[in-house]
Amino acid sequence: MAYTDIDKPSDYFETVLYAGNSGTKSITSLDFQPDWCWFKARNNTDTHGVFDSVRGVTKRIIPNNDTAEGTQSNGLTHFLSNGFTVGDAGIVNQGYNYVSWNWKAGTSFTNDASSTSVGSRDSAGTISTTAGISIMGWSGDDGADTLAHGLGVAPKWYILKSRGQDGNWIVYHHSLGAAAWIEIDATDAKSTSGSQYRFNDTAPTTSVFSVGATGAANDDEGMIAYIFAEKQGFSKFGKYAGNGDADGTFVHLGFKPAWVMTKCTSNSGTGWHMQDNKRDGFNYNNHRLFSDTNAAEETTVRMDLLSNGFKYRDGNGNASGREFIYMAFAESPFVTSTGVPTTAR
């Protein structure tokens, strides 16, 4: 078996840091044209902002609250072959320090369900079967449906958001199963109440994912989904148990992580932690943001990003006896396809 599916993860995911200039700014340091860009001011309490190539430039949604999509003409204004251009909106380019997390899919995908007999609703978007990334949009009917995702393997993590109405961001994670759900804009624990209205209590297959009869998952005013399959050496989605120790639970990934998101699913009142290899950038001072709040960056949380995984070095993200899920993307595989090992930080 190959060590990794992708030798150069930065062809599909990259974190960018930049200083805002309160005007127009182009970021041209990526190795790809992004399809999903997630922004946050690090030293200010402006909201998060998400833009993608499927919905189109200037179409903004906000991960830390439940509001519907809005048009922001001074937000992300262009996708470039090696980055993006932003206007002077506070969420992307005022006089603050910013982080942008960027993913590439890159191949257009459409599915006419009646013609292909795959899924019960038409879907369209952009995919990368190599990286296991699919960004998919559709017009729902507030009923139970199946949608083609185009990845060819069953996805392990996806996020659903209504474009046309206020409503929470609904998260599927394979370690919770399709009979449970959690919200990326809230600090609640996982829930099984009304689960049939989120994913129709049905796990995704190699061709489709299921949504239930609710506007939060299948709104007739339009939906967007960010969908991920696991790829060896590039991405991993799993769970771990906290040990409450300063030498926290080690989570093996098989790669050196560039970005890690964790969430306690067994207890309410805990946020979605987001850490990466660029903000501070050395162990054990990897700074934290939260997807569920507009709070500025925290610098006191301790996490090690290691050559083959990660671990917290305090109780944050590692409380004893609690269950956590994680989502991670690679900086470099632990060993490349030619047998070259990565180095520690």
**326 preceded by cis ω (within 30°)?**
no
pLDDT at 338: 60
Interatomic CA distance for residues 160 and 322, integer angstroms: 25
* Least confident residue range of 145-154, 173-182, 192-201, 226-235: 192-201
Question: Count of CB atoms within 10 A of residue 344's CB?
Answer: 11
Interatomic CA distance for residues 224 and 124, integer angstroms: 10
* pLDDT mean across residues, the chain: 94
Interatomic CA distance for residues 217 and 137, integer angstroms: 12
pLDDT at 185: 97
Q: What is the pLDDT of residues 70-104, one digit of tens each?
A: 999 999 999 999 999 999 999 999 999 999 999 99
Interatomic CA distance for residues 341 and 3, integer angstroms: 10
pLDDT at 317: 86
Planar angle of CA 321, 324, 325, nearest 5 degrees: 160
Q: Are the C-beta atoms of 16 and 89 separated by less than 8 Å?
A: no
Strand 255-264 with 272-276, pairing: antiparallel
Q: Is the pLDDT of residue 340 over 70?
A: no
Alpha helices, H only, the chain: 113-116, 196-199, 215-218
Higher-scoring residue by pLDDT: 267, 195: 267
Q: What is the pLDDT of residues 215-261, one digit of tens each?
A: 999 999 999 999 999 999 999 999 999 998 888 899 999 999 999 99
pLDDT at 4: 85
310, β-bridge pairs: 251, 305
Nearest alpha carbon to residue 76 among 96, 95, 102: 102
Beta carbons within 8 Å of 340's beta carbon, 6+ residues apart: none
Radius of gyration for the alpha carbons in the chain, expressed in angstroms and rounded: 19
* Least confident residue range of 155-169, 178-192, 226-240, 305-319: 305-319
Q: Is the pLDDT of residue 1 over 50?
A: no
